[in-house]
Amino acid sequence: MAEISVVVLTRNEETNIGDCLETLQWADELLVLDSFSDDATTEIAHSKGAEVRQLPFVNYSAQRNAALGLATKEWVFFVDADERVTPELAEEVRLVVEQAGVDGWWVPRRNYIFGKWIRHAGWFPDHQLRLLRRAKARYDERREVHESAQLGGEAGYLQSPLIHYNYDSVREFRVRQGRYTDFEARILFESGHRARPQNFILQPLRQFRWRYVTLQGYKDGWRGLLLSLLMAYYEMVRYWKLRRLQRA
């Protein structure tokens, strides 16, 4: 039978890591790759039976490539500390890794934001390429955030969702989106994009319309409206940061 390494990347995740690892006890190898947390993350991980390795954080793609090198099983399943694997998903993972001719699997995510499962506005099914045949997967390290593996073969889609306890508050949303837009602006700049005056108006409007109308964010009530407005705002922030890079 094909064996599976489950990998969790961490940095100061003491509030999440214990509950996360509780849902991963079925793994053949349980590896936590930590970026030198200064809270109790590593102690909790050890207590849950995980092997803990530490590596300075460069970017998400580089960290995942390092994890692929540290894992020892044929398949690697990446799970974030704020995610939970249901028994149904674990069973499905066990079944699909026995299939020949497939080197990766996209996993749907059920995002809980501001205390509720968000079903629209682009937040579901939110497929993530997380289950990988280790020898056939590699991350492009030029892609620093929202990374996705490059496969040597075909990928399939799982049915059981990964549970993601995403943003608890607007403050947390702002902090994380602030980091993401730093990375995204630099990616745009390095790929030759330049901010133009119309981008500061048209791009946020398109983002809001896409999420709230096209992807039916209105069906999630005030949360859908707020998320659509926030994503539109951070679309503008991304272009402001790109403009600063141009001036620099």
CA distance 2 to 27: 11
The answer to whether residues 92 and 99 touch, using CB atoms and an 8 Å cutoff, is no
- Is residue 28 over pLDDT 90? yes
Domains of the chain, earliest start first? 4-165 (3.90.550.10), 170-247 (no CATH)
**Average pLDDT, whole number, for the chain?**
96
pLDDT of residue 181: 94
pLDDT single digits (tens) 175-225: 999 999 998 999 899 999 999 999 999 999 999 999 999 999 999 999 999
Q: Which is it for the CA torsion 202, 204, 209, 214, positive or negative?
A: positive
For β-strands 83-84 and 137-139, DSSP reports them as unpaired
pLDDT single digits (tens) 51-80: 999 999 988 999 999 999 999 999 999 999
pLDDT single digits (tens) 100-142: 899 999 999 999 999 999 999 999 999 999 999 999 999 988 7
Find the DSSP H helices in the chain. Answer: 17-22, 41-47, 60-70, 87-96, 170-190, 199-209, 221-247
| Banded pLDDT at 145 (limits 50, 70, 90) | confident
Question: For the range 95-98, what are the long-range contacts, defined as Cβ-Cβ under 8 Å and sequence gap of 24 or more?
Answer: 96/131, 96/156, 96/158, 97/2, 97/4, 97/131, 98/1, 98/2
User: Does the global pTM surpass 0.85?
Assistant: yes
CA distance 194 to 246: 7
The tokens describing 8, both together, are 């969790």
pLDDT of residue 1: 87
Residue 112 CA from chain centroid, whole number: 14
DSSP-derived secondary structure letter, 135: G
